[in-house]
Structure 1
Amino acid sequence: MSETEGGGHPGVTVTDPATMKRAVAAAAVGNITEWFDFGVYSYLATTIEAEFFPPGPLSQVATFATFAIAFFFRPLGGLFFGPLGDRLGRTKVLSITVIMMACGTFLMGLVPSYASIGLAAPILLVACRVIQGFSTGGEYAGAMTFIAEYSPDRRRGFYGSFLELGTFIGYAMGATIASVLPLIFSDQFMSDWGWRIPFYVALPLGLVGVYLRVRLEETPAFQNLLSESEEREGTEVKDGLKLVFTKYLPSFMLVGGIVVAWNITNYMLTSYMPTYLEKDVAAHGGIAIDSKTSAWLQIAVLWVAVIIIPFLGRLSDKVGRKPIMWTGAIGLIVLGIPMILLMQNGSVPSVLTGLVVMGLLLICFSSTSPSTLPAVFPTEIRYGGLSIAFNIFVSAFAGTVSLVMTALVLATGDLLWPGYYLIAAGIIGVVTLYFLPETNNKPLRGSQPSAGSEEEAREMARVGQPS
């Protein structure tokens, strides 16, 4: 990676392909670690409920409340790690967050059951979720910043999509392992401690993530920022936080709108649908499908998404981010109710169709948001601004999806609440996209143009524009 000088193309950053691949891998592994935990937790929710909470009608709500509590600490993590990443650098902070996440997940596998230690069990479970939530507050937005600042302008959509590729791989891995283990081992073995095995896998994943990240230099954009300002005092960080809520408040709200539309759909599919299909549908007048069939259908949808996401990321480099996002937002409004109705009749083809539709609408956001959102804030507050905005809106509106849906369906008996929620998310997405500028083929805000080769850099310098 280098800033080109002379040769007729000054002021253009060139990142060599080998460095770019290492950067993509380093960012994606952290996401795999994070979402591996979510996959395991969602698909073992019934087991977690039985192991850590006293039996009763509210044990399911308590299980999802424990899942949701981590999201309360995500904004705090964003407030802590985001400005730190703008001051100390992306790679240092991201190395800390990935190992914290892995340790939090690993420790969950060590917590004794409620039958062994009583109320201490859910308390310790919550403590592990707090560690995960705090670290995640600095992880995902930092990884978006990291990969966006490394990527060439003309291929930022493609490289950014690998971040969400990591998300879906991690979740699918967690879900697959949680579903395969009961097929291999006896019910007694799984009940005793076999269910803990997936949580132990997180630690080696985290160590791989740290290894990949510490071997990389800082991003070109951050290095350029440091060269322009050798001394970055703590007062600058505080001023940066103030700017997020004053000068850059419109940027903050744009990020929030996309995050809400994207992540309500995300958590609806990945966190709530397993419980909805296996328990809530049958409890409120619908026809549920077999729990194992439901799990494998959702896993199949996740692995299909893994294949499609990079193609959509590459497409966004050609046609723009917004047309793909428009498809997702309008699709949520039009198809929100129909896709939920498809999941209530107990038919495998019908349920699969509903899940596929939801998954396809989700990846319209997943494939494009990692390259879109970092471009909204300038380099000097990108990590902090993105961390704060992303985590506040995820925590308030998305991380609570399972808890809110469970409570609303339980209180009203109306199985269409997920559809109503998805429609609302789509409306928010449409309004946000109306005001969101197109970032395709443009330098990141406050950064110089970035190319993937010397030839491309000469062409960009010749025409005077990166597009």
Structure 2
Amino acid sequence: MATILTASGSTVLADETDDQRRKRLRTVVAASLLGTTIEWYDFFLYATAASLVFNTVFFPDQSSFVGTLLSFATFAVGFVVRPIGGVVFGHIGDRIGRKRTLAITMVLMGAATALMGVLPTAASVGVLAPILLLALRIVQGFALGGEWAGAVLLAVEHSPRRRRGLFGSIPQIGLALGLALGTGVFAFLQVALDDDAFLTYGWRIAFLVSIVLVAIGFVVRLKVDETPAFTEVAELSQKSSAPIRDVVLPPNTRNTVLGLLARWGEGSAFNTWGVFAIAYATKELDLAKVPVLVAVTIASVVMALLLPVSGLLTDRYGPQRIYLIGITAYGVAVYPVFALFGTENLLWFTVGLVIVFGVVHALFYGAQGTLFASLYPTRVRYTGLSVVYQFSGIYASGLTPLILTALIGAAGGSPWLAAGYLVLTAVISVVATSLIRERDLHLTIGDRPNRPHRADSTAVDSTGSENIG
């Protein structure tokens, strides 16, 4: 079942017909997109609830400010646990394969989210309520720790050579759709129900819907084949005995450090515009909840539509260049966007969010998966990708709403100190991304780096296998 290179530049199995290849790629796209949409719906549904519900339902005895901080603190815990899940599932993914690992993460994630929908409130069981919420958030974070890297590799390692960037953007589309679905469901429920009904049972509906979504996603993922890249490594007995060791030690040390820093700007950006902006708009700007959720949903949909464009640009110009341009644009846009927010006008808030989240974020987020996947050889790629994405998630993603809330509080409600922090994260990411050397990017199915990426080149390694990007 070795992989071979076709004249069109596609990765195929040795005994695979054209029809079988097309069917395999359609299944891969469905499994990657549907799976990540569901996983991120579950994860960011919690983020939306943390902004709008949990400070009241689980921390009712605190002031609004303190309750929001505590709610975001439980949100951040999920990011702290994600690296543990990343190491565990990364090891499993590099040892037994991508497909089975992703099935496990989906079941864990769905179960934790559904159980949140039936949790008792603080009014019913007191302090036990936030403790149970925290425990389920830990399970969520652990499961998601192995999800993103596996979904990216499922797409990238199955993809045609000249569409590596496009396929690498597919799991990112799932994130945007998951966020849009979560905020959209919350907006609908708040319109359909009065405030008392929403706080009593309405918010629970959004969490219980996860049961149906996970069942569908699980079935689709069981139909997908293992990636040709992993299959080749397994057949050649090249699997690493200790992937985490190989990721942190030379020759991978440099790429790991630079990857961790390169992601800082992206992580802070997403959780600013997709999570923190909801609380900021409803509490500091005094905008109505439903229109704010609609604005985030619109920006998320725009991002989902533009992510494939980023993928195509990645195929044309290379992932490093596109990621660098996008992160730079984000740093430049921070202050103007907060100025638009400061008008306290819903239209300008939406315009700013669509620009910085829907357009700018799509540019570099679409290239991210392909870029970070190329930092490591196939034999440790699942672990390496998980380490970069999940460990950076602690400081780049999970702590961002807390940091911004604290900085705005310290500045007496002014957002400019918080905006300065976001610009700093962008600068760090720009520098780190610039320092990644193209000669160190792993573009072949084997364990050695290849020559710099060229959109019109198709290299073949010594086994006759195609580059895997």
The aligned length equals 448
Please name the residue that 2:4 is paired with. 4
**Unaligned residue ranges in structure 2 (runs of 5+):** 450-455
Is residue 278–residue 292 contact of structure 2 (8 Å, CA) maintained in 1?
yes
Aligned partner of residue 289 in structure 1, secondary structure: coil
Match of 2:97 among 86, 89, 96: 89
Is residue 9–residue 458 contact of structure 1 (8 Å, CA) maintained in 2?
no
Q: CA deviation at 1:319?
A: 2.3
Task: Provide the C-alpha distance between the structure 2 equivalents of 1:128 and 1:403, rounded to a whole number of angstroms.
Answer: 20
Is residue 2–residue 231 contact of structure 2 (8 Å, CA) maintained in 1?
no
Please name the residue that 2:72 is paired with. 64
Is residue 161–residue 368 contact of structure 1 (8 Å, CA) maintained in 2?
yes
Q: CA deviation at 1:372?
A: 1.4
Amino-acid identity (%): 29
Q: Which ranges of 4 or more aligned residues in structure 1 deviate by more than 3 Å?
A: 7-15, 441-445, 456-461, 464-467
One-letter identity of the residue aligned with 2:408? V
Q: CA deviation at 1:365?
A: 1.8
State yes or no: 1:241 paired with 2:249.
no
State yes or no: 1:76 paired with 2:121.
no
Aligned partner of residue 367 in structure 1, secondary structure: helix
Q: CA deviation at 1:437?
A: 4.1
TM-score (norm 1): 0.89
Deviation per CA, 1:36-72, whole angstroms, max 9, x where unpaired? 1244223333221111113222111110001111111
Please name the residue that 2:426 is paired with. 426
Task: Provide the C-alpha distance between the structure 1 equivalents of 2:67 and 2:43, rounded to a whole number of angstroms.
Answer: 19
Q: CA deviation at 1:433?
A: 2.1
Is residue 154–residue 442 contact of structure 1 (8 Å, CA) maintained in 2?
no
Is residue 108–residue 199 contact of structure 1 (8 Å, CA) maintained in 2?
yes
Q: 1:28 to 1:438 in 2, by over 3 A?
A: farther
TM-score (norm 2): 0.88
Is residue 160–residue 370 contact of structure 1 (8 Å, CA) maintained in 2?
yes
Deviation per CA, 1:255-305, whole angstroms, max 9, x where unpaired? 212321211111111110000111134xxxxxx433322222221111111
Task: Provide the C-alpha distance between the structure 2 equivalents of 1:260 and 1:459, rounded to a whole number of angstroms.
Answer: 32
Aligned partner of residue 34 in structure 1, secondary structure: helix
Is residue 325–residue 364 contact of structure 2 (8 Å, CA) maintained in 1?
no
Please name the residue that 1:284 is paired with. none
Please name the residue that 2:453 is paired with. none
Please name the residue that 1:18 is paired with. 23
Is residue 137–residue 391 contact of structure 1 (8 Å, CA) maintained in 2?
yes
Match of 1:159 among 167, 175, 191: 167
One-letter identity of the residue aligned with 1:243? D
Is residue 321–residue 438 contact of structure 1 (8 Å, CA) maintained in 2?
no
One-letter identity of the residue aligned with 1:55? D
Task: Provide the C-alpha distance between the structure 2 equivalents of 1:225 and 1:251, rounded to a whole number of angstroms.
Answer: 21
**Unaligned residue ranges in structure 1 (runs of 5+):** 282-287, 450-455
1:130-141 map, 5 Å = 130-141=138-149
Aligned partner of residue 129 in structure 1, secondary structure: helix
Higher RCO (Cα < 8 Å, 6 or more apart): 1
State yes or no: 1:47 paired with 2:53.
yes
Is residue 77–residue 133 contact of structure 1 (8 Å, CA) maintained in 2?
yes
Is residue 70–residue 129 contact of structure 1 (8 Å, CA) maintained in 2?
yes
Task: Provide the C-alpha distance between the structure 1 equivalents of 2:71 and 2:426, rounded to a whole number of angstroms.
Answer: 28
State yes or no: 1:259 paired with 2:263.
yes
Is residue 378–residue 446 contact of structure 1 (8 Å, CA) maintained in 2?
yes
Is residue 328–residue 365 contact of structure 1 (8 Å, CA) maintained in 2?
yes
Which has the higher mean CA deviation after the structures are superposed, 404-413 or 90-99? 404-413
Provide the alpha-carbon RMSD of the alignment: 3.0
Is residue 2–residue 232 contact of structure 2 (8 Å, CA) maintained in 1?
no
Q: CA deviation at 1:92?
A: 0.8
Which has the higher mean CA deviation after the structures are superposed, 87-96 or 20-29? 20-29
Task: Provide the C-alpha distance between the structure 2 equivalents of 1:291 and 1:27, rounded to a whole number of angstroms.
Answer: 32
Aligned partner of residue 4 in structure 1, secondary structure: strand
Task: Provide the C-alpha distance between the structure 2 equivalents of 1:143 and 1:110, rounded to a whole number of angstroms.
Answer: 29
State yes or no: 1:398 paired with 2:397.
yes
Q: CA deviation at 1:186?
A: 3.0
Task: Provide the C-alpha distance between the structure 1 equivalents of 2:401 and 2:55, rounded to a whole number of angstroms.
Answer: 14
Aligned partner of residue 374 in structure 2, secondary structure: helix
